[in-house]
Amino acid sequence: MDAILKVDHVTMKFGGVTAIDDLSFEVPRGSIYGLIGPNGAGKTTIFNIITGNLKPTKGRIFLDGEDITGIKPNKAVYKGIARTFQNIRLFKSMTVLDNILIGFDSAAKYTYFEAILRFPRYFKYEKIIRQKAYELLKIFNIEEFANLNATALSYGNQRKVEIARALATNPKLLLLDEPAAGMNPKETAELSEIIHKIKKDFNLSILLIEHDMKFVNAMCEKLTVLDYGEKIFEGKPSDAIVDKRVIAAYLGDFTHA
Amino acid sequence: MDMQIFLQQLVNGASLGSMYALIAIGYTMVYGVLRLINFAHGDIMMVGAFLTFFGVSSGLSFEVSVLIGIVGAAIVGILTDKVAYKPLRDAPKISLLITAIGISFFLENLFTVLFGATPKAFKAPDYLTKVFHVGDIYLPISVIIIPTVTLIILAVVLWILYKTKQGMAIRALAFDIQTVKLMGIDADKIIMIVFIIGSSLAAIGGIFYAVSYPSIDPLMGIIVGLKAFAAAVLGGIGSVGGAVIGGFILGFTEILVVALFPELGGYKDAFAFFFLILVLLFKPTGIMGQDLERGRF
Amino acid sequence: MSKTVSYLIYTSLVVAYLAFVYYAQDLFDSYTLSILSNIGIFAILALSYNLINGVTGQFSLEPNGFVAIGAYFTALLLIPAETKIDMFALTDPAPIILQMKAQFLPAILIGGIAAAFVALLLSFPVFRVRGDYLAIVTLGFGFIIRILAINNPEYTNGAMGLNDIPTPDNIFNWIGIIALITFIAMLHIIYSKFGRGMKAVRDDEDAAVAMGLNTFKLKTVAFMTSAFFEGVGGGLLASLLTTITPDQFSFLLTFQLLIIIVLGGLGSMSGALLATILVMGGMEWLRFLDEDMVIFGMHTGAHPGMRMVVFSILLIIMMLFARRGLLGDKELPEVLSILKNKLTKRK
């Protein structure tokens, strides 16, 4: 398989607690891959390992064949990984547009002095990234909110801003941590559409953590189920729902998002 | 160096180190539970010394004045938390730090207004200023009393932290304040206890300082406070044992280095800063290496 | 308001300001000029202090240290060698001190560069770890500068300080223009990817890192920029006052700047300008508190320090009840338009 991401026998221990136990899986290039499991199963922990926020006790992470284990988080972005957060971490003092422009930071190729002295390169690149930012806003249908403070938007729209911001960093692999959390069915459907669209338009691979099984079903081609840090299933969503171990882990509760 | 002189400096260093240790404990405990560098803490030390001075110059006995000093400092500490820090518990960190500086500056200027800026002579009772001569060593009795009392206090504090319910709550608070609140523990009361302990210790440190260097001024808390904080960082911020270790290391270093290299005398106050930079460069968690994300005293 | 109209307004404001600076020396008496000069220098200091503290959110207490560095470098570059030989009372000046010589503008700039270099050195230990320590390190740093100045008399004339620092006749013009340049430079930084990055570090440093920002570099750049302009302000101060001593650059200076940027609104450059005028005015106006006052026929006696007691209480009250200061983290045009919207809505 042409894997964009390979998680290779990763174990994560915090003192006496084993949060992740010998986890391995591969995300095929160009796919939408799910990571599900009950609360505390270790999903966000493995995200943090992939993005470099945590160094695994054992095991390696490979992006596009390159070993990126323990890389610094901002380096990981440079390598092509971008992420969103479970509890939406937008920059609260800034506008929607400015939040997204942060994602385009590396695309604005002017120096500090060129900015202070307002050399032509400053104007050239500011124009370029603003244009790109507006294009992203259009895709997510939030163009009208560009100059509002990020916190003024509805929860669903804030989530969109966060994804757009991550997209602005031009990633190969997008990590979405519970993107549909707190959304109503209409918003969830819209989000589902948008994610499919950006995957196609931007040639992305997507790894997402989710609870909402309907969403997972609609989105993911393949998934891994975690329970207490261990992989208990890997395969198609439709097969996951009927797998005995998965059912036991969730205590049969699949309709709840 | 001559053995006599070395021993002399050793005892001086122990005495100075004790004072730093007492003040450093307060810094480290408040940082542990609130993640706040209480800039006003050094000034609490000054408050303790001045209230004691005020008692003595008003004619009260030394012992009663010391009590007033300690209790007064504790009250100032509690008030500081209640009035200025508690309302800002959920505010951004920088607001808290700015307020702490504000309180510090306020105390310094208030006591300048009340007592004047010129240094005051601190009259300690005779039993504390008696001097022994052991060979060539000049041994003021304070130099023995201070470290001894400090170690006793340290033992008491550690006993409180590890053998009482309140102490356990303090350690839990340093670990995770949200969970502790969810468990029905009155976090504010525990924080108040921390301020009481820290402020009282700082006051005692201030009184010891006043006995050893018999002049006090309203700005004495700043430099000593800074150094005590550096000592706390050196020992490992959040660790009471570390604060004491850091305090003694700093005290010994200041005395011994100047004794060995008198030409460095003017730089005595810079050693603390030097240690601070070293720690930040090479081992930010300090000697006791407490990672406060898994906080323990 | 259309872009051309705002552009016209800003340009006319700048022209009016420059005219004011140019003609001020003819219009005002020397007392007023000295007050305006102080306000100008404090504005430079407040604007730069605002960058590391307000915009980047790193609580620092550095100004008095960097101002001292700038002041000493500039002074040593401006004072002629013969004057130095007479002035240095404690020991002979070191040879390099006698060689140091520069024209006014280069001397000021070198003061700034020296400060920025020291800021770079401090950045390495401090910004690698918890930002909490920046405040303590910069607080200590201010004391260290004083210790260094006192203990190296062959370079600094020790506790006696330096005097006979030359002042150009048009110092007021220099201050006015540099203040304007500082303000414009700060605005250019804020409205660029660097300003956005600094604000992101302030709002949520972990998220900023997750978006690929090199937060260490951003913090260091902000810190060095603040240091540079604070050094420049220090150089101007040395030239204006003609005399500097190690004790002059105490924490009081930093505290005043802190009050200014909090009052103006942490992160707002135009707020810092407004607040400079208010606080400097207030400090003068409240001077009577430090002197003997007669209340209800009774003398209070002179109590130096009373004024700062009032100011520290003011700061604490601001932090408790008006943390966002006058303009919050926005600039004046934005605040005005928000007000306008609020007022027109009511109708």
Under DSSP, the state recorded for B141 is T
Tell me the average pLDDT of chain B: 88
Nearest to B37 by CA among B253, B254, B237: B237
d(CA A164, CA A138): 10
Range of the domain at A228: 1-80+171-257
A123 lies in the same domain as A148: yes
Against chain A, the chains showing at least 3 CB pairs within 8 Å are C
Q: Are C239 and C139 in contact (CB under 8 A)?
A: no
Min mean pLDDT across C16-20, C85-89, C264-268 is at: C85-89
Range of the domain at B9: 3-294
Residue A117 near chain C (CB below 8 Å): yes
C145 lies in the same domain as C260: no
Output the CA angle B17-B20-B25, nearest 5 degrees: 120
A162 lies in the same domain as A216: no
Comparing C101 with B136, the larger pLDDT belongs to C101
Comparing A194 with B297, the larger pLDDT belongs to A194
Contact A77 C212 (CB under 8 A): yes
Instruction: Report the pLDDT value the prediction gives residue A109, as an integer from 0 to 100.
Output: 95
Segment C159-194, tens digit of pLDDT = 999 988 999 988 999 999 999 999 999 999 999 999
Segment C230-263, tens digit of pLDDT = 999 999 999 999 999 999 999 999 999 999 999 9
Q: How confident is the model at residue C274 (pLDDT cuts 50, 70, 90)?
A: very high
Instruction: Enumerate the residues of chain C whose CB falls inside 8 A of the CB of residue B273.
Output: 137, 140-141, 143-144
C223 lies in the same domain as C133: yes
Q: How confident is the model at residue C130 (pLDDT cuts 50, 70, 90)?
A: low
State mean pLDDT over C20-38: 88
Q: In the listed set C226, C249, C272, which residue is the last one of a domain according to the structure?
A: C249
Quote the percentage of chain C above a pLDDT of 70: 99
A196 lies in the same domain as A214: yes
Contact C196 A89 (CB under 8 A): no
Q: How confident is the model at residue C215 (pLDDT cuts 50, 70, 90)?
A: very high
Segment B220-259, tens digit of pLDDT = 999 899 999 999 999 998 888 899 999 999 999 999 998 8
Q: Which two tokens stand for residue C289?
A: 């508190």
C223 lies in the same domain as C300: no
Segment B77-92, tens digit of pLDDT = 999 999 999 999 888 8
Instruction: Report the pLDDT value the prediction gives residue B88, as an integer from 0 to 100.
Output: 92
A222 lies in the same domain as A248: yes
Q: Considering its fold, how many domains does chain B have in total? A: 1
Instruction: Report the pLDDT value the prediction gives residue A85, as an integer from 0 to 100.
Output: 93
C188 lies in the same domain as C309: no
ipTM: 0.91
Comparing B120 with C274, the larger pLDDT belongs to C274
Q: How would you classify the pairing of strands C298-299 and A173-177? A: unpaired
C157 lies in the same domain as C240: yes
Segment A63-99, tens digit of pLDDT = 999 999 989 998 999 999 999 998 899 999 999 999 9
Instruction: Write down the pTM of the prediction.
Output: 0.92
C33 lies in the same domain as C55: yes
d(CA A192, CA A159): 12
C231 lies in the same domain as C331: no
| Amino acid occupying residue B92 | P
Q: How would you classify the pairing of strands A58-63 and A66-67? A: antiparallel
Segment B8-35, tens digit of pLDDT = 888 889 999 999 999 999 999 999 888 8
Of residues A72, A118, A169, nearest to C211 (C-beta): A169
Residue C308 near chain A (CB below 8 Å): no
Q: In the listed set A115, A147, A169, which residue is the last one of a domain according to the structure?
A: A169
Q: Considering its fold, how many domains does chain C have in total? A: 2
Examine the pLDDT at B294 and tell me if it is beyond 50: no
Distance, first Cα to last Cα, chain B: 38
In a domain, A136, yes or no: yes
Range of the domain at C309: 251-347
B167-187 as b/e: b if 16+ CB within 10 A: bebbbbbbbebeebeeeebeb
A255 lies in the same domain as A208: yes
- The CATH code of the domain that includes B100 is 1.10.3470
Q: How confident is the model at residue C122 (pLDDT cuts 50, 70, 90)?
A: very high
In a domain, A86, yes or no: no
Q: Are B158 and B244 in contact (CB under 8 A)?
A: no
Examine the pLDDT at C3 and tell me if it is beyond 60: yes
Contact A85 C207 (CB under 8 A): yes
DSSP secondary structure letters along C7-68: HHHHHHHHHHHHHHHHHHHHHS-HHHHHHHHHHHHHHHHHHHHHIIIIIS------HHHHHH
Instruction: Report the pLDDT value the prediction gives residue B297, as an integer from 0 to 100.
Output: 41
Distance, first Cα to last Cα, chain C: 20
C82 lies in the same domain as C152: yes
Examine the pLDDT at B192 and tell me if it is beyond 80: yes
Q: How confident is the model at residue B1 (pLDDT cuts 50, 70, 90)?
A: low
C89 lies in the same domain as C193: yes
Tell me the average pLDDT of chain A: 90
Q: In the listed set C228, C249, C270, which residue is the last one of a domain according to the structure?
A: C249
DSSP secondary structure letters along C65-132: HHHHHHHHHHHHHHS-HHHHHHH--SSPPPHHHHH----HHHHHHHHHHHHHHHHHHHHHHHHTS-TH
Q: Considering its fold, how many domains does chain A have in total? A: 2
State mean pLDDT over A197-208: 93
Instruction: Report the pLDDT value the prediction gives residue C86, as an integer from 0 to 100.
Output: 86
Token pair 């000593």: residue: B224
d(CA C177, CA C20): 11
A202 lies in the same domain as A254: yes
Q: Are C78 and C107 in contact (CB under 8 A)?
A: yes
C110 lies in the same domain as C11: yes
Residue A62 near chain C (CB below 8 Å): no
Residue A112 near chain C (CB below 8 Å): yes
d(CA A161, CA A150): 8
Q: In the listed set A134, A169, A204, which residue is the last one of a domain according to the structure?
A: A169
d(CA B186, CA C227): 44
Segment A35-44, tens digit of pLDDT = 998 877 888 8
Instruction: Report the pLDDT value the prediction gives residue C1, as an integer from 0 to 100.
Output: 64
